[in-house]
Amino acid sequence: MAGNGGSWLSRRRYGENLRLTNTAFPHWFTPHFHQYNDREDSMPVDQHMLLALIAPRAVYVGTASEDKWADPLGSFLALKNAESVYALYGIGPLPATVQPAVNVPVFNTALGYHLREGAHNLTRYDWQQYLTFARNHFGCISNCRYAAIA
């Protein structure tokens, strides 16, 4: 789960904005980042570009339906906008062109996303999706001892 500076698009200006983040949590980012308060469009990068830098490695984004501050749709759009870089490595797009319904995770060999019901938190459901994605991407991990969570 992430808020501003996480996986969602700052330039969308939805939910938690840079000014709020930099004021409430000034220690999260360098003081230089504060110059973009109320000036998100002037930022040299946005989160979809940072997600694209992870390519061709696996990345999974989890969001929550009631977490409007963290902009679940913006997180999905950021991941979708990173797909073009993954395509350079022969990795296909997510099997969804629009944000999936609540509790319907989508993933391919390297990209994954879910929107779970509820508020900003890290829940059992989130862990189940992350581990399912990891199992599909990496195979059995740590002698599959995580199976008890599923």
pLDDT of residue 15: 83
| Token reading at 62 | 């989890």
How many other CB atoms sit within 10 Å of the CB of residue 56?
A: 12
Query: Mind listing the pLDDT tens digit for each residue in 86-103?
Result: 999 999 999 999 999 999
Domain ranges, ordered by start, for the chain: 47-149
Instruction: Assess contact for 88 and 55: CB atoms under 8 A.
Output: yes
- On the question of pLDDT at 106 being above 50, the answer is yes
Task: Taking residues 10-38, report their average pLDDT.
Answer: 92
pLDDT in tens, 114-141: 999 999 999 999 999 999 999 888 886 5
Residue 145 has pLDDT above 90, yes or no: no
Cross-strand partners of 113: 61, 106
Q: What is the pTM of this model?
A: 0.89
Q: Residue 3's pLDDT is what? A: 65
**24 membership: H or E segment, kind and range:** helix 18-24
